[in-house]
Amino acid sequence: MKKNILTAIWFTLVTTVIFGGIYPLAVTGMAQLLFHDRANGQLIEKDGKLVGSRIIGQAFTGPGYFHPRPSSAGTGYDPMASGGSNLAPTNKNLIERVKADVQKLHAENPEASIPVDMVTTSGSGLDPDVSPESAEFQIPRVAHSRNMNQEDLRALIQKHTKGRDLGFLGEPRVNVLELNLELDSLRNGR
């Protein structure tokens, strides 16, 4: 009996050291060496100042910016409250929010059909990307606000459009933060 208890204690200690210390340190060290940018949250700095992350959406509400998908994470794009609304398609609150978003977007661009990702939230509520169609939908507002040519904005969207991963996974997408940062740099002549 004493031998079994000592074996159990030693096994617990050894596995705790290996799987609770050595393994996490080794994986973290390899991630830092091989994938430093990804391991640190793919942060974006501009002029030495942290402006965001490539993988976490953030709110842009001004008329001169491309807007991201709606967020239901906390008060909006709160990484500490990540998650979808979990509202059913028949939920009154969801229906009212989507209707209000559709009315607002229809007033913004009455001739275009509204892409679905402009009125629906992602599963995490932190999606940093929109579909190329959503970016295209926003061109008239952004062009008008910034006194820019719509074709220049289309070219900028095309430049920031990422295709499907490995050619078949996911959908084409546009990172809203990167697109808006380039818009600001064009305005500032950089």
Do 101 and 31 fall into the same domain?
no
Do 115 and 143 fall into the same domain?
yes
- Tens of pLDDT, residue by residue over 66-115, are 999 988 877 677 777 777 777 888 999 889 989 999 999 999 888 899 99
| Per-residue model confidence (pLDDT) at position 144 | 93
| Per-residue model confidence (pLDDT) at position 21 | 95
pLDDT at 12 over 80: yes
pLDDT band at 190 (very low <50, low <70, confident <90, very high): very low
Do 77 and 165 fall into the same domain?
yes
- Tens of pLDDT, residue by residue over 19-31, are 999 999 999 999 9
Do 51 and 35 fall into the same domain?
no
Do 103 and 133 fall into the same domain?
yes
Do 87 and 4 fall into the same domain?
no
Do 105 and 16 fall into the same domain?
no
Do 35 and 56 fall into the same domain?
no
Burial of 109 (0-12, 13-18, 19+ CB in 10 A): middle
Cα separation, 92 vs 151, whole angstroms: 40
Domain count, the chain: 2
Cα separation, 105 vs 115, whole angstroms: 10
pLDDT at 43 over 50: yes
Do 95 and 158 fall into the same domain?
yes
Cα separation, 130 vs 115, whole angstroms: 10
Do 23 and 65 fall into the same domain?
no
Do 10 and 98 fall into the same domain?
no
pLDDT at 61 over 90: no
- pTM recorded for the entire structure: 0.78
Residues 6+ apart with CB under 8 A from 67: 60, 61, 118, 138, 176
Judged by DSSP in three states, 165 sits in: strand
Do 139 and 98 fall into the same domain?
yes
152 is in which domain, residue-wise? 43-187
Please state, for a pLDDT cut of 90, what percent of the chain lies above it.
Answer: 60
